[in-house]
A and B are shown apart, each in its own frame.
Chain A
Amino acid sequence: QKEVEQNSGPLSVPEGAIASLNCTYSDRGSQSFFWYRQYSGKSPELIMFIYSNGDKEDGRFTAQLNKASQYVSLLIRDSQPSDSATYLCAVGYQKVTFGTGTKLQVIP
């Protein structure tokens, strides 16, 4: 089993819709959870991090963490074409482990 799993996509959503990106992890002791956005040919940039169960909102982005079910999700409201990128989930316990990423395509 992969330590951090993400559906590779592509996930296609129309402009203005809500994009929902999911991530599951295997280590129950994980403490820190990160979402990075990576445009093609560029390095990852941090969007959000979350440490506690529940929701954390920042502008159009909401991270949701459910430690009992071992999943973390990222919701993007009012999706824009500029949101088209690969979204990496990263989970930290003794080290930070990255998933392979989900490619998001926002269709104008």
Chain B
Amino acid sequence: ETGVTQTPRHLVMGMTNKKSLKCEQHLGHNAMYWYKQSAKKPLELMFVYSLEERVENNSVPSRFSPECPNSSHLFLHLHTLQPEDSALYLCASSQDSGRGSTDTQYFGPGTRLTVL
């Protein structure tokens, strides 16, 4: 089992719902990431937090809202999602040694999200 946990593991929501995904890392890392994985597409980086500050946001729609209260926890708040947002959402963490995101990332088990 990895040192990165995610809850819930599965989530079904309607387009008008509000829900949150949670990620927790137990590795003592200082950087955390949200990725989206859709079928037949490469992993898409959504957000990067290093030392609890957001350092990258790859033009993600505002219906996705991240929150990083401390270096061990990361949330992804969801509201008014679209069916095309259905995917596997992966959290990862790494130790940012100053080389930025070239450091090794360790993934959580993911949340399988279905938007009806």
A interface residues, Cβ below 8 angstroms from B: 4, 31-32, 34, 36, 42-46, 49, 88, 92-101
Contact = CB atoms under 8 A, between A and B. Distances in A.
A97 B105 CA distance: 12
Interface in B64-116: 88, 90, 99-110
B2 interface: yes
Contacts of A99: 42
A32 B103 CA distance: 8
B42 A100 contact: yes
Contact of A42 (B45, B104, B106, B109): B109
Nearest to B4: A43
Nearest to B106: A46
Given A92-B101, A95-B45, A100 B107 contact: no
